[in-house]
């Protein structure tokens, strides 16, 4: 009986492996696609970004970026930049262009391709919280904002008023406690 179960298990395993091998897709190796371009000519790639401090922002459609300069990196022979449809700069090496805060449509064109980035919003160079934080860190904390004499006078009045208030409240509370004790334990003698 055991021998029969073992043979059936073996047949099941072998049949599952055979079915798996039959169902596996056959793959054939192919050669890489042939390049129609010259071997010496390479594809032209470019990208642009802005920076503010240690933060970098890639330029793309409908993006909000910080900084006053755009860095254009490319490996093309020549790249032209148009801002809002007007020629702005051209170079055959990677370069920087200055941009004021605002909303721009930027076109980057090379000899074989171009990209249009619409509605790119530029904010001022330093992030606002970063510049405010730097201002607070570099601020002189020995500077007095109000006169020391006025501050001490206000503190003295506050202490005096606090003492009078605590004395008055504690006296009233003790008076009420003593009065309730006396009223509770008051015994009246009636004489006829």
pLDDT tens digits, one per residue of 161-180: 999 999 999 999 989 988 88
Same domain, 151 and 125: no
Token look-up 């890639």 returns 58
Same domain, 115 and 53: yes
Same domain, 110 and 57: yes
Same domain, 156 and 90: no
Instruction: Select from 82, 64, 69 the least CA-distant residue to 119.
Output: 64
For the chain, the residue count is 192
89: domain CATH number? 2.60.40
Same domain, 110 and 162: no
Instruction: Select from 110, 135, 107 the least CA-distant residue to 42.
Output: 110
Q: Taking 60 as the threshold, does the pLDDT of residue 29 lie above it? A: no
Flag whether 190 is in a domain.
no
- Answer left, alpha or beta for residue 62, where phi above 0 means left and psi between -120 and 50 means alpha: left
pTM of this structure: 0.47
Flag whether 66 is in a domain.
yes
pLDDT tens digits, one per residue of 50-64: 988 788 899 999 999
- Cβ burial of 4 (10 Å; 0-12, 13-18, 19+) is exposed
Domain count, the chain: 2
Same domain, 72 and 123: yes
Same domain, 67 and 102: yes
pLDDT tens digits, one per residue of 62-114: 999 988 889 999 988 899 999 998 999 999 898 999 988 899 999 999 888 88
Q: Considering only residues 138 and 37, tell me which one the structure prediction assigns the higher pLDDT.
A: 138
Cα separation of 111 and 76, whole Å?
8
Flag whether 118 is in a domain.
yes
Flag whether 192 is in a domain.
no
Q: What is the pLDDT of residue 132?
A: 72
pLDDT tens digits, one per residue of 7-28: 777 778 778 777 777 776 654 4
Same domain, 72 and 117: yes
Flag whether 41 is in a domain.
no
Same domain, 64 and 123: yes
Structural contact between residues 122 and 101, judged by C-beta atoms closer than 8 angstroms: yes
Q: Cα dihedral sign for 116, 121, 126, 129?
A: negative
Task: Report in angstroms the alpha-carbon separations of 51 from 13, 15, 17, 172.
Answer: 62, 63, 58, 68
Same domain, 93 and 167: no
Cα separation of 106 and 112, whole Å?
17
Q: Taking 90 as the threshold, does the pLDDT of residue 34 lie above it? A: no
- 147-185 CB burial, b ≥16 within 10 A, e <16: eeeeeeeeeeeeeeeeeeeeeeeeeeeeeeeeeeeeeee
Range with the poorest average pLDDT among 33-47, 78-92, 174-188: 33-47
Q: Considering only residues 11 and 47, tell me which one the structure prediction assigns the higher pLDDT.
A: 47
Same domain, 121 and 149: no
Same domain, 79 and 114: yes
The structure tokens listed for 123 are 């904010």
Flag whether 24 is in a domain.
no
Flag whether 115 is in a domain.
yes
Q: Considering only residues 88 and 127, tell me which one the structure prediction assigns the higher pLDDT.
A: 88
Enclosing domain of residue 167:
144-178
The structure tokens listed for 82 are 């148009």
């Amino acid at each position: 009986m055991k021998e029969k179960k073992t043979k059936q298990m073996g047949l099941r395993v072998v049949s599952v492996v055979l079915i798996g091998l039959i169902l596996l897709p056959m793959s054939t190796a192919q050669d890489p696609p042939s390049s129609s371009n010259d071997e010496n000519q390479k594809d032209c790639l470019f990208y642009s970004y802005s920076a503010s401090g240690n933060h970098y922002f890639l330029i793309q459609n409908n993006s909000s970026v910080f900084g006053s300069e755009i860095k254009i990196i490319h490996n093309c022979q020549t790249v032209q930049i148009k801002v809002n449809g007007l020629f702005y700069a051209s170079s055959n090496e990677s370069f920087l262009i200055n941009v004021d805060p605002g909303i721009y449509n930027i076109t980057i064109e090379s000899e074989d391709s171009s990209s249009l980035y619409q509605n790119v919003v530029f904010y001022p160079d330093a992030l606002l919280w970063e510049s405010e934080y730097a201002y607070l860190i570099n601020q002189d904390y020995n500077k007095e904002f109000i006169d020391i004499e006025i501050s001490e006078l206000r503190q003295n009045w506050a202490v005096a008023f606090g003492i009078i208030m605590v004395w008055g409240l504690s006296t009233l509370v003790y008076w009420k406690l003593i009065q309730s004790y006396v009223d509770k334990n008051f015994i009246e003698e009636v004489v006829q």
